[in-house]
Amino acid sequence: MRIKGGSQVLIIIVILVISLFSARYLLLFFQNRRKAGWKEPSPANGTLLMELKQAKTIMWVGTHADDELYTAGTLGYFTRDLCGQLVIVSLYYNPEFSDCNRRSAEFLGGADYIRIQEKMYREEGIRISVRCHSWSQLNNIVKELEETGVKEYLKRLIVEYKPDIIFGFESTNGFRHSCQHVSFAIIVDEAVKELREEGYTFFEYYYILNRDPNWFGEKNMDPPPVTDVINLDDKMWSYKLTLFDIYSEFYPQLGNSEFHQKLMHKEWFRKVSTANIGSAAVYIHQFIPGAYANRAAEKALSNLRLKECSYPQQDKRT
């Protein structure tokens, strides 16, 4: 059967009209979904999990030569499942922990374990003997660490290893309301910010957060916000327990199965905008446990780092 010319034109017009209405409907459909908060999935959506899958090298920067255990599930996932390279950096060095550090590094994909206190003394003859033992010392300790050259040494390590992601402690509470953690976290903040200002943009920067009250109590949790949560599956949880076991000879609680059962199988992170480091008010009134979760911003952190004081030279804590 042949279709006459006029009929062919009519069919084409009908098809065009249907196409136009369909296109308009689809446009309205996607606009409404965007208004409702829906986003098209994208490999460039900035989530930590996606960034880990794209990264070749990451760096954990902590105060003590055992602090990597706090984020061991994520570090194990990156090194053992994604076959990435890990660099572990700690400020302080305790010879008694050396074998545990070696075993931890071996388990985490043959990571490089760098203890700044040890390296600076061996390479440059510089002794790092200051430690923060009370919040009133914080300003003084940060100043002395910087004058000793710790910040510049860390900056050299970052430029040398070129990590795609840097992880460190949140710099007002330090995972467990620890002034030692915070003193070095402030140095890390400043090092990261200065590198960005100097044109080094190859890395992202994240805080590891304690949002589990079963670690050190609710009052000692880190403040929000949280930008990323990694749920630890059975394999990732086993990675964390392996590091617990490695360090349990010094901390018996880490080998306690009842303690394990109380902990959440999660690790929390906050992606940090270096433009805001050191300038924003923080959620504290004084350096007291619990202020971080319960108070609105009342004072800038810099206003609280004031008192000059002496400090002990020895500390058994690594």
Chain mean position to CA 166: 7
Strands 85-90 and 228-231: unpaired
> Which numeric CATH code is attached to 48-304?
3.40.50
Read off the pLDDT band of 62 (50, 70, 90).
Answer: very high
Residue carrying the six token digits 């062919």:
8
Per-residue pLDDT at 299: 31
Residue 132's nearest CA partner among 226, 64, 85, 188 is 64
Q: What is the dihedral of CA 136, 142, 147, 153, to 10 degrees?
A: 160
Q: What pLDDT score does 29 carry?
A: 44
Of 159-163, 200-204, 273-277, the poorest mean pLDDT is in 273-277
- For 64-88, the pLDDT digits (tens) are 999 999 999 999 999 999 999 999 9
User: So what's the pLDDT on residue 276?
Assistant: 64
Compute the residue count for the chain. 318
The average pLDDT across 24-38 equals: 43
Least confident of 25-34, 170-179, 208-217: 25-34
Supply the pLDDT for residue 10: 65
Residue ranges of domains in the chain: 48-304
What would the pLDDT profile of 292-316 be if each residue is shown by its tens digit?
A: 333 332 333 232 222 222 222 333 3
